[in-house]
Chain A
């Protein structure tokens, strides 16, 4: 069982470039999440999905878009990267919402210059 897999592990972008972060889970979880982690700020929720074909905004959604076309995949897109989006991004999944532990991927370290 791979659990939650994120790609890529590292990426450097120039301001204005776009990219997509990929997340895949093999646990048949309904719920998937994208977090960003910055020093001293903990984990902040960007977007989440409560099932295939659904997405919702989290705490810090501006500048990001997401899609959940298949239950096992959750994609995070940056249409026009900004230096403020330099961060470590974690995907997570859970069996239930609000009452189930989160299973995290290994993270993507993104630098925007």
Chain B
């Protein structure tokens, strides 16, 4: 069936290092959403990407939607301890599917 995969599953970085998580869909998506979930918290919406090749930035976070609209990435520049959490992508086509998430740990 249709799937949305994310890699890596876990990432441990030293504070100040960069971090990237990738989201890959087995089918072409209408749009993709990214969420952040802090430990013990609930998913919080970060951004939506709709157009092929779209790039959006939020301070140190850069989001990209692939040309084929089957993959996306989230890049964090110079991680901080406040970036700790799990980052989920959510792909939409005729239904919505969440990726399994990438858990980010930041070592001070």
Contacts and interface: CB of A to CB of B under 8 A. Distances in A.
A104 B42 contact: yes
Interface string A17-61: 000000000000000000100001111110000000000000000
B107 interface: no
Interface residues of A, number: 17
A43 B98 contact: yes
Contacts of B95: 98
Nearest to A98: B92
A81 to B, nearest CB: 22
Contacts, number: 42
28 contacts: A35-B98, A40-B9, A41-B100, A42-B98, A42-B99, A43-B43, A43-B88, A43-B98, A44-B98, A90-B43, A98-B30, A98-B31, A98-B92, A98-B93, A99-B30, A99-B31, A99-B92, A101-B33, A102-B33, A102-B35, A102-B43, A102-B45, A102-B90, A104-B42, A104-B43, A104-B44, A106-B41, A106-B42
Interface in B41-58: 41-45, 48
A76 B71 CA distance: 33
Given A40-B100, A102-B43, 11 more contacts: A35-B98, A41-B100, A42-B100, A44-B98, A45-B96, A98-B30, A102-B45, A104-B42, A104-B43, A104-B44, A106-B42
Contacts of A105: 42
Nearest to B101: A42
A106 B90 CA distance: 19
